[in-house]
Structure 1
């Protein structure tokens, strides 16, 4: 079963479907303590399951997270996209960067492009980002995107803040 996944671009990034060769940097990500906000750290076998969920989300929902590729080098740098698995709070804009890619503005750039796609291409009328209370860097991304801190929530990895993104238009 092949689900067509559209490709989008931002100034420095290509948001594209995941490929098998993206697994190595994602396995590195899921082995790193920075992945704690995404259910890590974990071993390669569990990392594969988490990695496969991204493509599965597209197959089941018709939208999902994209792999992020740096235009200038073709290097895989992380993920961002539309996230709304069963039991989740609300449709979410998500992002995560692999080790070595933080501090370049990629998360904000990709998440803004994903938000635009959610509204313009997938008919979303609202979006949130659920950010761990311990994840100061992602809190800053949400604020740079113009999201507003709405409330505290509990999710499977602990306490978090729910940031509400601007409505379309």
Structure 2
């Protein structure tokens, strides 16, 4: 996909997915630990089909997760941004990162930029994050964003039997937090 919004942070570029991002995405999806909370590892052919979800959502909904690119390295680090599949419990800001990007604060930095964009451009009133109860790393990201655990949520099929907690905050809560920082 050509064009679309580009968000720049101190260390990152958030842009629409491009075919050159797929190699690193396939590595993420092949790593059982890295993708255990996002549907499990997948072989390359299945990862390709899943990769195409984001460009498809951009084309049909006008938003989806951004590819997150390291400004200094040019590497695809992961994806973060708005996401609302059919039947989802709300407007989500989600994230998934390549294992080499873990522990550097990229998820928080990218999610902050994506939340600003979703509240401003998409005019969302609140955002959620659907997080597995044992995904402590994503819980810490949600906490750094100012989101709070709202309790268990039932996800749509095929995830209805997967334990999930709903984290989130309103636009007003985000604005208060943003003014305070």
The normalised TM-score by structure 1 is 0.94
Query: Alpha-carbon deviation of 1:112?
Result: 0.7
The answer to whether the 8 A contact 2:124-2:171 is kept is: no
SS in 2 for 1:123: coil
Partners of 1:70 and 1:77 within 8 A in 2: yes
Q: CA separation of 1:123/1:3 partners in 2, compared to 1, >3 Å: closer, same or farther?
A: farther
Take 1:92 and 1:5, find their aligned partners in 2: how far apart are those partners?
A: 20
| Partner residue of 1:163 out of 144, 162, 167 | 167
1:134-160 CA distances to partner (integer Å, 9 max, x unpaired)? 211001000010001111113317111
Counterpart-to-counterpart distance in 1, 2:2 and 2:9: 22
Question: 1:109: which partner in 2?
Answer: 109
Q: More deviation in 2-11 or 50-59? A: 2-11
Q: CA–CA distance in 1 between the matches of 2:84 and 2:3? A: 18
Could you tell which deviates more after superposition, 158-167 or 9-18?
Answer: 158-167
Query: Residues of 1 paired with 2:16 and 2:102: CA distance?
Result: 21
Residue 21 (structure 2) pairs with residue 22 (structure 1): yes
C-alpha RMSD of matched pairs (Å): 1.4
Structure 2's unaligned 5+ residue stretches are: 176-181
Q: Report the 3-state secondary structure (helix = DSSP H, G, I; strand = E; otherwise coil) of the residue aligned with 2:13.
A: strand
Identify unmatched segments of 5+ residues in structure 1: none
**Matching residue of 1:139:** 139
Aligned partner of residue 126 in structure 2, secondary structure: coil
Q: Give, in angstroms, the shift of residue 3 of structure 1.
A: 7.4
Structure 1 segments (4+ residues) deviating >3 Å: none
32-41 vs 89-98, greater mean Cα deviation? 32-41
Q: Give the aligned length.
A: 168
1:119 paired with 2:119, answer yes
Mapped partners of 1:52, 1:122: distance in 2: 22
